[in-house]
Amino acid sequence: MILPEREILALHRAIVGIPSVSGNEAELAGFLEERLRQRGATPIRVGESLLALHGEGPVLLLDTHIDTVPSVPGWTRDPWQVESVDGRVIGLGSNDAKASVAAMVAAFLAFQEVDLPFTLALALVEGEETKGTGTQAILRELSHLTIEAAVVGEPTGLDVAVAQKGLMVLELATRGDACHAAHAAALGATNAARLLARDLVALEEIDFGPDHPYLGPITMVPTQVQAGTARNIVPAEATAILDVRSTPALPRSEIVRRIRERVQGEVRVLSDRLLPAETPASAAVVEAARRSLPGVRLYGSSTMSDMAFLGAGAIKCGPGRSERSHTPDEYVLEEEVLDGARFYTRLIGAYAELRDPAANAAFLATVAR
């Protein structure tokens, strides 16, 4: 039975009021564990993440995060003193992603007494805002099961991301000859900063091929540049960090090869673990989302989430709006939280019907109670 609206909203306000900046999720995890147990679920702790299972067979995973970023300058109130003003719930994490937490908990609990043709899994994870450690630990815990589909709870306005860009972090380094700046010309010293500047200009001309239909072009942006140790010394080394947002259109190795082909400096891969993800629009989980919200928009997301660890078969969608995330006086609308709970509940039912048409009767009976 789906939770009453007032209970969903009370749960949302309660969890927003518990500080859970990344690395400090224990109190909130304990609170949610107790609430799930009170409702008949049997969650387990995986670090400071929670995992609850219901049913048997391949897994439909509901995955969202309980951690938040630290508060940013500009808040006009205590970030954890939750206020509800004219239907607007204000507090750190209210939008990203505790609206999804409350909505997914409500949807999961709606099916506690229903026989499903799959395993419904609820993962409320730590560390998403930092390194995605929570979801990775949950996936290890579920390694004995087949994850057939996943729904990642993030504030998307209930639009459905069927693809997400990956992230590669590269370092471009050039080498020169350190010497006194006054003697550089006479000595013919190579200036690493100038070499790096030429390489950065050369990178403007790189061709990563055609746009991805949902994600658009592969992008590469220099974000940090460093050279020199003193104002009067020719730099012996210069470096630039390159932020590369990848798509499934090119393998990561080919992206690196094309960059190396254009520059004189050395290109080092600092991180390439956040892979691009794409789920076919024909997948059952996408069809379930469409049935749950007719006219829903499918799109590709350039921002990161734990969808990076879930690959094909995952979608990203949830209540709230991405542009409110990580802002002063972050908020979400109460109606958005409730819409999220309804959407996730309908999605689970639609997914059950797609896998087993006879399951629809059980779903309707659950929602009607």
The separation between CA 309 and the C-alpha centre of its own chain, rounded to angstroms, equals 9
The token pair that represents 106 in the structure block: 């409500």
Q: Could you please report the per-residue DSSP string of 283-295?
A: SHHHHHHHHHSTT
> How far is it, in rounded angstroms, from Cα 18 to Cα 28?
6
**Quick one: which of 110, 113, 108 has its CA closest to 151?**
108
Per-residue pLDDT of the chain (369 residues; tens, 9 = 90+): 578 999 999 999 999 999 999 999 999 999 999 999 999 999 999 999 999 999 999 999 999 999 999 999 999 999 999 999 999 999 999 999 999 999 999 999 999 999 999 999 999 999 999 989 999 999 999 999 999 999 999 999 999 999 999 999 999 999 999 999 999 999 999 999 999 999 999 999 999 999 999 999 999 999 999 999 999 999 999 999 999 999 999 999 999 999 999 999 999 999 998 999 999 999 999 999 999 999 999 999 988 999 999 988 999 999 999 999 999 999 999 999 999 999 999 999 999 999 988 766 655 555 545
pLDDT reported for residue 200: 98
pLDDT reported for residue 368: 45
pLDDT reported for residue 362: 58
Burial of 248 (0-12, 13-18, 19+ CB in 10 A): middle
pLDDT reported for residue 281: 93
- Please, are residues 22 and 126 in contact by the beta-carbon 8 Å criterion? yes
pLDDT reported for residue 221: 96
**Quick one: which of 58, 77, 40, 16 has its CA closest to 144?**
58
Domains of the chain listed by start with CATH number = 5-164+276-368 (3.40.630.10), 166-274 (3.30.70.360)
Cis peptide before 97 (omega within 30 of 0): yes
pTM of the model: 0.90
